Amino acid sequence: MAKKEVSLTREYLKGLWDENPVLISLLGLCPTLAVTNSAVNGIAMALATTFVLVSSSLLISSMRNFIPHQVRIAGYILIIATFVTVADRFMAAFSPEISKALGPYVPLIVVNCIILGRQEAFSSKHGIGRSLLDSLGMGTGFLLVLFVLGSIREILGSGSILNFQILGDWFNPWMVMILPPGAFLTLGLLIGLSNWWNDRRANA
């Protein structure tokens, strides 16, 4: 393994910006777009995803020498689906409101490409410690994007943030921001901004 010299802090931090799952790798776009009509929904979704990501990374990296190569993808998906069921039941029991708001997007975590992608690209090749850091980093990066996207859409679309009204009566909410087109437009602008910033940094 030539990449052995990567430091442990780096293993965590790379998920936040340099290899951010949404902005750079363009993975997990479906939940990113679907649940960010408010900041709270975004956070809940990101936490559930991080839970599934971290637990399946731990399990898969510790079992990586036992899973036969040919059926590894099917194995990963089964493990992920099991953890998603756990997360889904947990949410339905402890916060039925959010569970209802997220609807079928919670079970859809099973097919979130971020999770399968990390298992295939990282956990199946590295030890438990590094896999834990990597999946935590990716989860945090996902949380950041969802929170920012959810906040922008909530402020512009309903004049509030985390359900607190911050803009007064003078503000005429942009309905379109909390509807599907708003999600595409905001994410497009965010991706463009992050590319612009990375270009600038690379040229400086």
Partner 1 sequence: MNLLLIFISAAIVNNFVLSYFLGICPFVGVSKQVSSAVSMGMAVTFVMTITAAVTWLIYHLILVPFHVVILEYVAFILVIASLVQLVEMFIRKISKPLYDTLGIYLPLITTNCAILGLALFAVLREYGFIESLVYGVGAGAGFTLALVIMAGIREELELANVPKAFKGAGITMIVAGSLALAFMGFAGLISI
Q: Which spans of this chain sit near partner 1 (rule: CB under 8 A)?
A: 26-27, 29-31, 33-34, 73-74, 77-78, 81-82, 84-85, 88-89, 103-104, 107-108, 110-113, 116, 176, 179-185, 187-189, 191-193, 195-196, 199
Cα 70 versus chain centre, distance: 28
| Of residues 29, 11, 35, 26, the one with CA closest to residue 147 | 35
Report the 10 Å Cβ neighbour count for 155: 18
Q: CB-wise, 34 or 47, nearer to partner 1? A: 34
Residue 191 C-beta: closest distance to partner 1, Å? 4
Q: CB-wise, 99 or 133, nearer to partner 1? A: 99
Q: CB-wise, 97 or 184, nearer to partner 1? A: 184
Phi, psi of 22 (to 5 degrees): -90, -55
CA distances 50 to 137, 143, 153, Å, are 9, 8, 22
Give the count of alpha carbons within 13 A of 62, CB side only: 9
Extended strands (E) in the chain = 160-161, 164-165
Q: CB-wise, 160 or 194, nearer to partner 1? A: 194
Residue 193 C-beta: closest distance to partner 1, Å? 7
Residue 54 C-beta: closest distance to partner 1, Å? 19
Residue 188 C-beta: closest distance to partner 1, Å? 3
Residue 10 C-beta: closest distance to partner 1, Å? 25
Alpha-carbon span 195 to 175, nearest angstrom: 28
